[in-house]
Amino acid sequence: MPEDRQTDLFGAGGEQGDLFGEAAAPAYRPDADKVRARLHHILAEARAAQSLPWDRGRLSLYRTIFPQMTLWLPEDEAAQLRFEFEEELARLKAA
């Protein structure tokens, strides 16, 4: 009868290593207070200005990252911050 070299279903007794490696590191979650502070800083900068306070590059950056950063906050707060940011941009464009 042939020698039984097959491992059991749980991998005991085999020479084959772990196929999937180490467990994945936990996903990064930014500090909501730091995100909130940064968003409020950007809004304060816009509110204090009489005309657009940023060059094209910075404006493009803020238009991209501001909504993305709000995704780390509770939905109602995030929606309010996005609304306020868009309102300030509209005001500054009209100036």
Domain segments of the chain as ranges: 32-94
Q: What's the whole-model pTM score? A: 0.72
DSSP secondary structure string for all residues of the chain? --------TT-TT-S---SS-SPPPPPP---HHHHHHHHHHHHHHHHH-SS--S-HHHHHHHHHHHHHHHTTS-HHHHHHHHHHHHHHHHHHHH-
pLDDT tens-place string over residues 37-82: 999 999 999 999 999 999 999 999 999 999 999 999 999 999 999 9
- Environment class of 82 (CB within 10 Å of its CB; exposed 0-12, middle 13-18, buried 19+): middle
